[in-house]
Chains A and B, each alone.
Chain A
Amino acid sequence: MPKTIAPKKVPMPKQEPFERIRNFDEVALGFTPELARREAERCLACKKPYCVEGCPVGIDIPRFIKHIAEGDFKAGIKTIKERNALPAVCGRVCPQEEQCEKHCVLGKKHEPVAIGRLERFLADWEAASGSIEKPDIAPSNDRKVAVVGSGPAGITVASDLAVLGYAVTMYEALHEAGGVLTYGIPEFRLPKSIVRREVEYVRSLGVKLHLDYIVGKTRTVDRLLKDFDAVFIGAGAGLPWFLEIPGENLNGVYSANEYLTRCNLMKGFRFPACDTPLKRARRVAVFGGGNVAMDAARTALRLGADESHIVYRRSRKELPARLEEVENAEEEGVIFDYLTLPLRLIGDEQGWLVGIECQRMELGEPDASGRRRPVPVKGSEFVMEADASICAIGNSPNPLIPMTTPGLTIGKKGNIEADEETGRTSRENIWAGGDVVTGAATVISAMGAGRKAAKSIHERLSGSKKP
């Protein structure tokens, strides 16, 4: 008799909205072993698993789910770690609805299997168990690789190559490792203790980590190449865009990078216990509709804002953020001002933001991205009151390395050009991947790029004699 399948995912316990907007603790609380097994039993164990095709790092998804269903969590986490060094992070921040879960056969009739929640469960279970599964590490091959940036791309390259016997040194510009996982994604979505745990895991594989080290300034890439056989650049998308409208240099106007870095990396939410201040704004307007915009708007609420607005020029349907994050923001009371375009920021005598002149939009014909193009409604200008605005419309790659590495081919948007399949750049022995190549994208796509680059570096270095 065929088993009956529950049409819906097993819900994951969450902090109640009224409670969580007063703290920075994680919103989602994770599956218990019972809930995880119940969800795992929904998996059809397809012979041809489409979900795996949707995974940028190719985790054997049906196998780890089968292990959960059987209650063998240790085998489950081992399966994930064959392909993914950061399961606790990916289980939380991957857009599974666009990747593995999108391809789940169950999703045709019902809700797909909650693959992300299960991945997260295994990672947390392992951390709680206290014994961390480590892959076998090949004997040293006497080759040295420098990894620039300790975000998702860098961590993946470093751990893949360390396992293959390379001596890997990872360089981080800030005082904590993790890149955007540390400075960008808030505590309530990705606790920093988890990022630290994953970084420790990578170090336990033998990867050396240098903090406060700005490649391009402290040492150039060319200088690194004197000591290393290969350099991987995963320096991220660290140059914030502004709207380029009047008034953006008023006080109270932030880039999302600044706002989130003050809060996450510098622990500004604990000011004055921690020294880095973060103003308690009353009415906050966040420009943009992606995950970073949701993070900023939700952070503002937790910092005590009376009102936190998302100002977005299209409608709800076009929001690029994950639906789950939009729903979380809505539940928490973030106000969404759709079809609204900021025109000008208005300041007082002392140079502080007091208002934003906006214009209403309506949706016209689809544009190049396939989304309906917003068109201004004439005469619809109005002023919204605001004492803080946060610009979350994207980032360019950080210019420090392109500026100081001659011969590296740079694209129109300041990105390093690299082969999509191998991560190879225009320079011999330099690879690149993640946001520094693609512009701001997702954690898992950066990890996918890191995986491919590690493979290419290995092929290149193991195929040649040491000079």
Chain B
Amino acid sequence: MYRIIERRMIVPNLHELTVEAPQVTESVRPGNFVIVRPDADGERIPLSVADWDAEAGTVTSIFLQVGASTSKLARRRPGDTIPTYAGPLGQETEIRKYGTVLCVGGCYGIGSVYPVARALREAGNTVIALLEARSSYLLYWQDKFRSVAERTLELTRDGSAGYKGHITRLPEILTLEKIAPDLIVANGCTLQMMLVSRVTKPLGIKTIVNMNPIMIDGTGMCGVCRLTVAGKTKFACVDGPDFDGHEVDWEEFLKRRKTYNPEEVHPLRKSGCASHF
């Protein structure tokens, strides 16, 4: 059993989860994920690692409350335990000196791109962060980014913070901000990573995305996380989760993500309230 140190809603529907897992902090790297099971009958779900404290032996993730399992996790309180917290899993994001790197984060990916930005900065890169959300109240961790990024930009759909509009404005933002990145790292929902890859391809800027498919074991055993990259089938859990966004078959990936959409929300209807079902 693994003890929850902190679980709080950081912005609406997004939760910060910190778990005591010293065996994970020992070898965790940016870009890794963990497999979490909220209770004995729960699913195994992958959560990207957003931060860790090696001394305290704790690992932090940000997750979006969307289906049955994440709703269970969202109800957990500090001091509670969860039966599975396994990792670190997946290949780490390749950290080396690229020059200027733009780190794009949205949704839970604001959290998971943070350790990438930090490590890239430590490796001598100029890091610029672009945090995007529907509205200003959904942004978080700006202070953490300011401590590692030369500039922290914001983009909101309603214009309540930073640039107004969708992530497809990225090329224009690069021009306005006079940024010529050698690499772009995008973490976030599938649509965001797909759109970032789509708009950076004509610009010829290498774009790394951190894929988030359905998983079970997370160790290469089941193959449910497979996706097509440069025409070849890859397993996100062992070959990724980082891939070149210009080579991913996004259409197929989006369809595969939807496999269990009806089942994902089904258990939410078991509220126990007679009139609810």
Stretch at the interface among A54-62, A98-106, A133-141, A209-217: A209-217
> Interface size of B by Cβ–Cβ distance < 8 Å?
44
Number of A-B contacts (CB under 8 A): 118
Main secondary structure of the interface of B (DSSP, over half): mixed
Known contacts A218-B86, A251-B255; A275 and B41 CB within 8 A of each other: yes
- Cα A55 to Cα B267 with chains together (Å): 48
Known contacts A274-B41, A275-B41; A217 and B87 CB within 8 A of each other: yes
Known contacts A218-B27, A275-B69, A351-B252; A261 and B41 CB within 8 A of each other: no
- A350–B255 touching, CB < 8 Å: yes
- A266–B43 touching, CB < 8 Å: yes
- B228–A261 touching, CB < 8 Å: no
Q: Which of B83, B84, B228, B238 is the most central at the interface, judged by chain A CB atoms within 10 Å of its CB? A: B238
Quote the shortest CB–CB distance from B171 to chain A (angstroms): 30
Residue of B nearest to A258 (CB): B222
B219 at the interface (CB under 8 A from A): yes
- Cα A214 to Cα B221 with chains together (Å): 12
- Cα A213 to Cα B35 with chains together (Å): 11
- Cα A272 to Cα B85 with chains together (Å): 22
Main secondary structure of the interface of A (DSSP, over half): loop
Chain B residues with CB under 8 Å of A270's CB are 41
- Cα A399 to Cα B221 with chains together (Å): 10
- Cα A350 to Cα B259 with chains together (Å): 10
Chain B residues with CB under 8 Å of A213's CB are 23, 86
Within 8 A of B (CB), among A326-373: 350-351
- Cα A255 to Cα B217 with chains together (Å): 13
- B84–A212 touching, CB < 8 Å: yes
Q: Which of A240, A277, A398 is the most central at the interface, judged by chain B CB atoms within 10 Å of its CB? A: A277
Chain B residues with CB under 8 Å of A239's CB are 220-221
Quote the shortest CB–CB distance from A297 to chain B (angstroms): 18
- B88–A217 touching, CB < 8 Å: yes
- A399–B220 touching, CB < 8 Å: yes
- A249–B43 touching, CB < 8 Å: no
Chain A residues with CB under 8 Å of B37's CB are 175
Per-residue interface assignment for chain B, residues 71 to 89, with 1 indicating a CB less than 8 Å from any chain A CB and 0 otherwise: 0100000000001111111
List 30 A-B residue pairs with CB atoms under 8 Å apart, sorted by A's residue number: A175-B37, A212-B35, A212-B85, A214-B87, A217-B27, A217-B88, A218-B26, A238-B217, A248-B233, A249-B226, A254-B224, A255-B222, A255-B223, A257-B223, A258-B224, A261-B217, A261-B221, A261-B222, A272-B68, A272-B266, A273-B41, A275-B41, A275-B68, A276-B44, A277-B260, A277-B263, A277-B266, A351-B255, A398-B220, A400-B220
